[in-house]
Amino acid sequence: MKRVLVIDDEPQIRRLLTISLGKKDYEVFEAPTAFEGMQAVQSIRPDIILLDLGLPDMDGSRALAELRLWSTIPVIILSVRDAEADIVALLNAGADDYLTKPFRVEELLARMNVALRRLRPDMRESVYECGDLRIDFDERSVSIEERAIRLTPTEYAILAFLARNGGKIVTQTRLLRELWGPLADAEPGSLRVHISSLRKKIERNPSQPGRLITEPGIGYRLYCK
Amino acid sequence: MKRVLVIDDEPQIRRLLTISLGKKDYEVFEAPTAFEGMQAVQSIRPDIILLDLGLPDMDGSRALAELRLWSTIPVIILSVRDAEADIVALLNAGADDYLTKPFRVEELLARMNVALRRLRPDMRESVYECGDLRIDFDERSVSIEERAIRLTPTEYAILAFLARNGGKIVTQTRLLRELWGPLADAEPGSLRVHISSLRKKIERNPSQPGRLITEPGIGYRLYCK
DNA sequence: CGCCGCCTTAACGCCTTCTTAACGCCTCAT
DNA sequence: ATGAGGCGTTAAGAAGGCGTTAAGGCGGCG
């Protein structure tokens, strides 16, 4: 569910966008003036902005320039003007796209997707953190108290799987299947060895685990202090 | 100085683009067919691609789909077709923009800037610097303590790819795909040799790497001191 | 044609990682 | 109390990954 802010002074355009975007998993917010639009950006924190150029109170390019002083939210310009100079100026001022009215709704949606798609990598949080233990799934790195821990592939796989299950109990069979695939007839013995060596690396006192907890007869879970 | 690959079968379009983009700090490469284009992406490693839809040997959307299997290089579609369905399909298939021929050159340049601007920040930096190691992506040159290092094309490709991934672990398979393309059945053995000779050039003590770190069982990463 | 630089392949040895087996501890049920 | 089974630990062996070197092939260039 993405939030989109429509800044346009024509009520019928806002209505059209509210309806058509509302059907497509967007939460739509409206602002009739640039001034109210700027305020709305602050309070609403939209994921993307649709900005009309013909606003009564402020030139669209001025509004965009001001916005770009402090925000990198994607902005798509909607305008009746089709002059190349306008388009170039707005795109260089930081707009992400420029559509000429009357625009086609499906195309607008596709172009909104493009603008949002390029944003993903920075937005995505892919770290597990719990006490002083930290797992960065992107970097594939593990650290305790800021100190990096070296794990073997299997050890990392176990820890990552338990972390992804967020403290819930994971049965042995599920872990075995996760590590060696559903077909392999995996030995529980091998798993026990990996658990042991993993504990040596992430537990203060490996003989009394504080994180990697055994649930007797069931499996294991990652306890978050 | 950015590299742009123009894939279009009409010589006059290629000529027009080569001239007008050449004036604007672009190094222009041309390919008349989708097939040659895909090969050129491999060898040239452009920063952005302009793709015509009306290619003789392959449908443009097919070409884009294949490219997107392994690459995220920005692609702008150039086409005579103006049907909404086409535009939406291409944008959803991973295109970054869509311009209808005849297009306006200034607008194209502005839209190319937008596409390049949206890249991850670390991707569009033209130099990588870390300790005494310095990589200039524009010049394709590498230096340590101000001393220039001579690297072979493959060595440079490995180092540059690791640097662009900013210290994160890069899987062997990803590195192999990056170097020899997605189709090639690449030999890990060859990669190991290149890594070895690369280390001889950039490491103080190649037998105990301080920069180009091996992550056993996974891949490599460039460690920034 | 011969030289040179680059890439690939193969061989070998080292080292990490995984597996297996043995043993001891604990818990629980009989 | 005692035996059985689950679990943790350790050590040893096997397997495979990785680094290195040398040799051969390919293409560019004088």
Return d(Cα B125, Cα B122) in angstroms, integer: 6
What pLDDT digit, counting tens, does each position of B97-131 carry? 999 989 999 999 999 999 998 776 555 677 888 88
**Residue B225 sits at the chain A interface (C-beta within 8 Å):** no
> Which residue of chain B has the CA closest to A94?
B114
| In a shared domain, residues A125 and A205 | yes
**Contact across the interface for A152 and B114, Cβ inside 8 Å:** no
B147 and B105 within one domain:
no
Same-domain status, B142 and B82 = no
Residue B146, class by beta-carbon neighbours within 10 Å (0-12 exposed, 13-18 middle, 19+ buried)?
Answer: exposed
pLDDT of residue A49: 97
Nearest residue on chain B to A153, alpha-carbon basis: B217
For residue A8, give Cα distances in angstroms to A65, A72, A94, A116, B48: 17, 20, 19, 21, 33
Residues of A in contact with B106 (CB under 8 A): 84-85, 88
Rounded CA-CA distance A127/A139 in Å is 9
Q: If you average pLDDT over every residue of chain A, what do you get?
A: 90
On whether both A56 and A110 belong to a single domain, the answer is yes
Name the stretches of chain B with pLDDT < 50. Answer: none
Same domain, B149 and B56: no
Cα(A70)–Cα(A89) distance, rounded to whole angstroms? 19
**Is cis: bond before B11, omega within 30 of 0?**
no
What range defines the domain where residue A194 resides?
A: 121-222
Statement: the CB of B62 is under 7 Å from strand D: no
Closest CA to B53 of B76, B30, B32, B77: B77
Task: Give residues with Cβ within 8 angstroms of A47, minimum separation 6.
Answer: A2, A3, A4, A73, A74, A116, A119
Residues A95 and A111 in one domain: yes
Q: Is the pLDDT of residue A122 over 70?
A: no
Answer yes or no: are the C-beta atoms of B69 and B182 closer than 8 Å: yes
Residue A174's domain is classified under what CATH number?
1.10.10.10
Q: Which pLDDT band holds residue A123 (cuts at 50, 70, 90)?
A: very low
Q: Where do we find the tokens 């091998």?
A: A190
Q: What is the pLDDT of residues A153-197, one digit of tens each?
A: 999 999 999 998 887 889 988 888 888 877 767 778 889 999 999
Ranges assigned E (strand) in chain A: 2-7, 26-31, 48-52, 75-79, 97-100, 127-130, 133-136, 141-144, 147-149, 170-171, 212-215, 219-222
Q: Is there a single domain that holds both residue B93 and residue B162?
A: no
Read off the CATH number of the domain in which B100 is found. 3.40.50.2300
Same-domain check for residues A11 and A113: yes
pTM of the model: 0.77
Domain end (from A56, A86, A117): A117
> Nearest nt to A196, CA vs C1'?
D8
Q: Can you give the pLDDT at residue A59? A: 87
Number of domains in chain B: 2
Q: Which of B117, B147, B181 is the last residue of a domain?
A: B117
For the segment A70-91, what is each residue's pLDDT rounded down to a tens digit? 888 999 999 999 999 999 999 9
pLDDT band at A120 (very low <50, low <70, confident <90, very high): low
Find chain A residues with C-beta within 8 A of B97's C-beta. 97, 114
Nucleotides of C under 7 A from a protein CB: 5-11, 16-22, 27
* Closest by Cα among B193, B225, B199 to B212: B199
Is residue A184 domain-shared with residue A95, that is, in the same domain?
Answer: no
Of the residues B61, B75, B84, B91, the best mutation for testing chain A's interface (the one with the most A CB atoms within 10 Å of its CB) is B91
Among A22-31, A57-66, B124-133, top mean pLDDT goes to A22-31
Q: Which nucleotides of D are covered by protein (CB under 7 A)?
A: 6-11, 17-22
Residues A135 and A102 in one domain: no
Out of B117, B145, B163, pick the residue that ends a domain.
Answer: B117
Task: Give Cα B3 to chain centroid, integer Å.
Answer: 9
Q: Residue B215's closest CA among B179, B165, B150?
A: B165
Q: Which whole number is the average pLDDT over A121-136?
A: 76
Whether residues A113 and A125 share a domain: the answer is: no
Q: Are residues B113 and B125 in the same domain?
A: no
In terms of CA atoms, which chain B residue is nearest residue A112? B91
Give residue B120's pLDDT.
Answer: 61
Among A101-105, A200-204, B127-131, which is the least confidently predicted range? B127-131
Q: Are B5 and B40 in contact (CB under 8 A)?
A: yes
Provide residues 145-164 of A with CB closer than 7 Å to any strand C atom: 150, 152-155
Most B-contacting residue of A106, A116, A126, A137 (CB-CB within 10 A), to test interface: A106
Which residues is A215 bridged to in the sheet?
A219
